């Protein structure tokens, strides 16, 4: 772990002092987003040092032609790249003719970044000596409006530290941008039109192949020390538009550039360039002014926190971390646009491309469901329903038929775009998480309409896939699933990964049960679906029969499920025996060595124990946790959270606390030495689960909501809120016990197994 350099504060992330080695990491950590767009915390002014420039628009991607060494049939044609979009934040500054560049100056003092998570605002300030007798103090404030998805705002002020300081501002839009992870160095954007006038700058572009039409726009107002507006000169060069102004200051005086800008999504089908709409958007923001726009933005954040904040008393590091996670999740996805989803890196980097992994269903759904409500969660499920036909096409490409659906490992529009064979073809457990999310949604929200309207079709497609993917082993007299990769991607092409077999079995049984329920509860829909999907009674019986004859690898002597066939043949040395210098092993070992080792990247068998808690005894959980955790290297960000939850269930509170900190501070303390590439957004939902499901012990059981809270000894108290069936449930746990309160309709819930009514404090 690189030395943590950020200050601890309950509501803020703070960096003090300039270290060029931290620039890329801080660009990730101080990222901003508003659900519609987002950007890394790149400097507004020119920076010639190492930086990773990134500004992204939700859902805008490019299908980058697949690049692999050896083509395999069934590979997707492309990898969906989250696209770096034109830069609208740039403000180049010359001071008395010298370019402001923190990589090329005499001295930097008081450098400070501050992410104010309560208000969703990012501040940066520093004093810089550019040359002898040429120093300035800079303050910048930036936010992406939570009210207007297309709008971002920057206020950039410079104080002169000597008389006769001439500032030349060049506030620009730059269209010449690239992706670091481009496969062929293809151009991704084509710029079609540009306008520069006193009203503002507008660069119209579309993405090649996918034809997303975007207008990158900006307007900057320059104000001198007396508050007078300085007229700007507008220039329009190829792919670069700018507004330039000269401000002259005496010592102590301040000149300010206030920039409104962002990305306006144009109608794909429309031929015209909606310049007038862009102008309206800009004019509305300018009429309100910086402070009013900021206040409205902060009010949205205040509402977000009212529902989703988690309070931890007595442990500032833990408090800061959970807020950082909740903050980033809200910056990434707000549920307003059902076509969007939650990418593993959100708007903070390029890695992972695509936007949707099984992470959404397995990790993110519970957070959004309990903090934003059933409708947002339903939208996440609907996203997959809308892509069912693509999942069926995907399965067909791999030789499946009859409506079998294999959802992609990673996607933007429903098409698979992952191209490592061991994942594309083999990491099929992802299909199970999609069915599990439907189950999870219904049991938590009580909404029984999703299944007949959409969910049933998804379940049938998934069940059909499993029914075809298994094969009957004559030798075992049971069904097996060969050639898979489980959640532990450090083993590929294994036979009978226990988790995959288990979730496949569960999908088949659950689909059967839901199909039968539909027949009883809703004859009309049942008949319509039976005819639309051509489901026959014998087919449903075969699902049940396969499920009942599923094979599971077991230890020959112990009461223990094996991760997969052959696991015991490995050299079973635990992680403790690994030299520290070898870790993370994915950065030090060759791939074959990793595959042969017993080391587990993330919860695998234990993922099953997490999902299906009620299927196993505590004793079984204990046995499996004690067996598998010591082999787990937690090199996926998704790992520590599941382990934190399970450790809390087992009352291993010290371990649970350590895993909590690891998941919660994964990026802040850069545990996996890769924060410079972007943040781990989807695992942040796992951090939330560590508290609510781990320490809070929240669980749905037999249609009721249960809590079994446990307080880590490092904390004085913690509290959280849950949106549960028209009620807001507040849970507070301290050394004296647990208090549960409901603001809405009375709901019966259980605390430590005892029923309580929560229309008042208990």
Structure tokens at 660: 């909590």
Name the minimum Å distance from CB 672 to ligand BGC.
10
Question: Would the CA dihedral through 221, 224, 226, 231 be positive or negative?
Answer: negative
Please list, in sequence order, all residues whose beta carbon lies within 8 angstroms of the beta carbon of residue 67, skipping any fewer than 6 positions away: 183, 184
DSSP states of 149-176 as a string?
Answer: TT-EEEEEEEEESSSSEEEEEEEEEE--
CB closer to ligand BGC out of 169 and 609:
609
Return d(Cα 331, Cα 310) in angstroms, integer. Answer: 17
Cis peptide before 93 (omega within 30 of 0): no
Return d(Cα 671, Cα 687) in angstroms, integer. Answer: 14
Return d(Cα 13, Cα 324) in angstroms, integer. Answer: 8
Return d(Cα 547, Cα 505) in angstroms, integer. Answer: 5
CB closer to ligand BGC out of 95 and 503:
503
CB closer to ligand BGC out of 487 and 697:
487
Tell me if 623 sits within 8 A of 516, measured CB to CB: no
CB closer to ligand BGC out of 575 and 717:
575
Does the active-site annotation cover 521? no
CB closer to ligand BGC out of 274 and 354:
354
Tell me if 215 sits within 8 A of 151, measured CB to CB: no
Which positions touch ligand BGC (CB under 6 A)? Answer: 344, 352, 357-359, 487, 489, 601-602, 636, 638, 682
Name the minimum Å distance from CB 181 to ligand BGC.
15
Query: Across the strands, what pairs with 218?
Result: 201, 261
CB closer to ligand BGC out of 599 and 657:
599
- Pairing label, strands 229-230, 233-237: unpaired
- Token look-up 């087919």 returns 539
CB closer to ligand BGC out of 357 and 610:
357
Tell me if 58 sits within 8 A of 36, measured CB to CB: yes
Tell me if 176 sits within 8 A of 285, measured CB to CB: no
Write out the E strands in 177-329.
189-197, 200-207, 213-223, 229-230, 233-237, 240-249, 254-266, 311-313
Alpha helices for 7-70 (secondary structure H): 23-29
- Token look-up 């999908």 returns 507
DSSP states of 659-714 as a string?
Answer: HHHHHHTTTTTTTTS-GGG---HHHHHHHHHIIIIIIS--EEETTEEEE-----TT
Closest by CA position to 80, among listed 167, 227, 188, 234: 188
CB closer to ligand BGC out of 336 and 351:
351
Return d(Cα 615, Cα 436) in angstroms, integer. Answer: 14
Structure tokens at 333: 């996805």
Q: How many CA atoms lie within 13 A of 740 on its CB side?
A: 25
- Token look-up 């199909």 returns 515
CB closer to ligand BGC out of 638 and 751:
638
CB closer to ligand BGC out of 22 and 601:
601
Query: Across the strands, what pairs with 559?
Result: none
Active-site residue, from 27, 45, 489, 677: 489
CB closer to ligand BGC out of 84 and 636:
636
Alpha helices for 407-522 (secondary structure H): 421-424, 430-445, 450, 456-469, 498-521
Question: Would the CA dihedral through 742, 745, 749, 755 be positive or negative?
Answer: positive
Closest by CA position to 140, among listed 240, 67, 32, 281: 32
Return d(Cα 115, Cα 143) in angstroms, integer. Answer: 10
The residue with its CB nearest to ligand BGC is: 344
Name the minimum Å distance from CB 359 to ligand BGC.
5
Closest by CA position to 12, among listed 112, 115, 113, 111: 115
3-state secondary structure of 220: strand
Q: Which residues are catalytic?
A: 489
């Amino acid at each position: 772990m690189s030395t943590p350099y950020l200050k601890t504060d309950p509501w803020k992330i703070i960096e003090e002092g300039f270290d060029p080695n931290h620039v890329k990491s801080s660009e990730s950590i101080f990222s901003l987003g508003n659900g519609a767009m987002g950007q890394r915390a790149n400097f507004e002014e020119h920076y010639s040092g190492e930086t990773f420039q990134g500004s992204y628009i939700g859902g805008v991607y490019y299908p980058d032609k697949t690049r692999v060494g050896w083509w395999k049939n069934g590979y997707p044609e492309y990898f969906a790249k989250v696209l770096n979009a034109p830069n609208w934040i740039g403000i180049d500054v010359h001071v008395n003719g010298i370019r402001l560049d923190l990589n090329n100056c005499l001295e930097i003092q008081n450098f400070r970044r501050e992410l104010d998570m309560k208000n969703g605002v990012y501040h940066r300030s520093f004093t810089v000596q550019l040359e002898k007798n040429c120093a300035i103090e800079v303050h910048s404030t930036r936010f992406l409006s939570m009210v207007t998805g297309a709008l971002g705002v920057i206020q950039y002020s410079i104080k002169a530290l000597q008389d006769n300081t001439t500032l030349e501002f060049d506030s620009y839009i730059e269209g010449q941008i690239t992706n670091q992870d481009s496969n062929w160095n293809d151009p991704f954007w084509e710029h079609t039109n540009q306008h520069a006038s006193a009203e503002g700058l507008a660069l119209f572009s579309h993405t090649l192949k996918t034809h997303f039409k975007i207008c990158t726009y900006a307007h900057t107002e320059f104000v001198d020390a007396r508050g007078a507006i300085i007229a700007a000169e507008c220039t329009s060069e190829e792919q670069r538009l700018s507004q330039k102004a000269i401000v002259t200051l005496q010592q102590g005086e301040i000149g300010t550039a206030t920039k409104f800008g962002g990305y306006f999504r144009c109608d794909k089908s429309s031929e015209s360039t909606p310049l007038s709409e862009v102008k309206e958007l800009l004019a509305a923001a300018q009429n309100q002014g910086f402070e009013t726009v900021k206040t409205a933005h902060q009010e949205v954040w205040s509402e977000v926190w009212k529902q989703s904040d988690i309070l931890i008393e007595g442990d500032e590091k833990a408090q800061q971390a959970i807020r950082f996670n909740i903050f980033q999740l809200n910056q990434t996805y707000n549920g307003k646009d059902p076509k969007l989803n939650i990418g593993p890196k959100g708007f903070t980097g390029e890695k992972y491309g695509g936007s949707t992994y099984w992470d959404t269903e397995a990790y993110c759904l519970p957070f959004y469901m309990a903090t934003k409500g059933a409708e947002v969660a339903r939208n996440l499920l609907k996203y997959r329903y809308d892509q069912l036909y693509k999942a069926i096409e995907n399965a067909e490409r791999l030789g499946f038929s009859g409506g079998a659906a294999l959802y992609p490992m990673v996607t933007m529009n429903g098409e698979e775009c992952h191209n490592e064979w061991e994942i594309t073809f083999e990491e099929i457990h992802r299909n199970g998480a999609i069915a599990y999310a439907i189950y999870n949604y219904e049991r938590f929200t009580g909404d029984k309409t999703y299944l007949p309207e959409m969910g049933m079709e998804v379940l049938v497609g998934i069940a059909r896939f499993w029914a075809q993917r298994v094969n009957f082993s004559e030798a075992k007299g049971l069904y097996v699933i060969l050639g898979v990769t489980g959640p532990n991607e450090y083993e590929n092409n294994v036979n009978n990964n226990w988790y995959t077999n288990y979730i496949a079995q569960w999908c088949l049984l659950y689909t059967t049960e839901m199909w039968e329920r539909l027949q009883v509860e809703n004859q009309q829909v049942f008949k319509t679906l039976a005819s639309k999907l051509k489901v026959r009674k014998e087919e449903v019986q075969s699902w049940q029969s396969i499920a009942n004859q599923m094979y599971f690898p077991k230890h020959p002597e112990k009461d223990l499920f094996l991760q997969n066939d052959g696991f015991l043949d490995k050299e079973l040395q635990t992680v403790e025996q690994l030299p520290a210098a070898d870790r993370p092993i994915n950065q030090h070992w060759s791939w074959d060595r990793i595959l042969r080792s017993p080391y587990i990247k993330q919860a695998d068998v234990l993922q099953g124990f997490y999902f299906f808690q009620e299927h196993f005894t505590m004793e079984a959980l204990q046995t499996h946790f004690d067996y598998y955790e010591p082999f787990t290297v937690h090199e996926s960000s998704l790992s520590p959270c599941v382990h934190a939850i399970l450790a809390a269930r087992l009352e291993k509170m010290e371990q649970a606390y350590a895993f909590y900190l690891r998941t919660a501070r994964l990026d802040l303390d850069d545990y996996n030495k890769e924060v410079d590439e972007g943040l781990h957004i989807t695992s942040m939902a796992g951090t939330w689960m560590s508290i609510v499901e781990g320490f809070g012990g929240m669980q749905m059981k037999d249609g009721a909501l249960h809590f079994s809270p446990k307080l880590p000894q490092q904390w004085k108290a913690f509290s959280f809120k849950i949106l549960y069936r028209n009620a807001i449930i507040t849970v507070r746990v301290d050394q004296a016990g647990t208090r549960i309160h409901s603001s809405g309709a009375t709901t019966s819930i259980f605390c430590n197994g005892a029923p309580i009514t929560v229309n008042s404090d208990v």
